[in-house]
Structure 1
Amino acid sequence: MINALFICGKARKRSTTAADITAGWDGFQADFAGLSKDADEQLSIEQIEWADVIFVMERRQKSRLTTLVGTTLKGKRIICLNIPDNYEYMQKELIDLLTPKLMSHLRVNLI
């Protein structure tokens, strides 16, 4: 089982969509969090420790993540998906962007 943690700013659109997309994939468990102080689900150290792989939506979030939790990330695989905050939760265009990227990074074949 691979534990995938998805992180964006407020945990309202991109990270929740990514977690919901992968929730039905065999061999994966997903969680999500936000880095902003007003995030719906603020990132916790327990989530970092739980995760096998951490996905951030933007490069600046990777930098912020490193600043916030530093050494807790040691040995963690962190992947930037380069998805801007231009989408709504479960918007078709967001799903169309996320799905192939996640399949590639997680080496999933749904066919």
Structure 2
Amino acid sequence: MKNILFVCSRNKWRSLTAETIFKNNPNYEVKSAGTENSARIRINANHIIWADTIFVMEKKHHERLLEKFPKDMNNKKIVILEIQDIYKYMDAELIEELKNSLTEYL
């Protein structure tokens, strides 16, 4: 089983939606977290260490992870999805965009 981590800014809409739609997949253990201090679940080193693959919604999230966790990010598979912060939790368009973006990986 692969450990998958989804990351956005506040872990309220994009990464939480991704976690929700993939959490029942028997091939993956899925978590989500945010990079901001105001995040619902704030990312920490344990999340990074746990994850086999990290999907970030935007390039800035990747940069923040490299900045905050430089050692833990070594040799981690990171995928930047380029999904903008324009959706609400479980928005139908967001779900479609996530599924399309993740098809080649999951």
Same fold (TM over 0.5): yes
Q: Which residue does 2:71 correspond to in 1?
A: 71
Unpaired stretches in structure 1, ≥5 consecutive residues: 107-111
Quote how far apart the aligned CAs of 1:42 are: 0.3
Quote how far apart the aligned CAs of 1:30 are: 0.4
Deviations 1:67-108 (A, max 9, x none): 0111101111000000000000000000000012112112xx
Provide TM-score, normalisation by structure 1.
0.92
- Partner Cα separation in structure 2 for residue 27 and residue 18 of structure 1: 15
- Partner Cα separation in structure 1 for residue 103 and residue 51 of structure 2: 17
Quote how far apart the aligned CAs of 1:21 are: 1.0
Aligned residues: 106
Q: Which residue does 1:38 correspond to in 2?
A: 38
- Partner Cα separation in structure 2 for residue 10 and residue 103 of structure 1: 24
- Partner Cα separation in structure 1 for residue 71 and residue 45 of structure 2: 11
- Partner Cα separation in structure 2 for residue 44 and residue 61 of structure 1: 13
Q: Which residue does 1:18 correspond to in 2?
A: 18
> Is 1:100 matched up with 2:73?
no
| SS of 1:48 mapped into structure 2 | helix
| SS of 2:69 mapped into structure 1 | helix
Structure 1 outlier segments of 4+, above 3 Å: none
Unpaired stretches in structure 2, ≥5 consecutive residues: none
Quote how far apart the aligned CAs of 1:26 are: 2.4
The amino acid of 2:45's aligned partner reads I
The amino acid of 1:15's aligned partner reads S
| SS of 1:73 mapped into structure 2 | coil
Higher helix share: 1
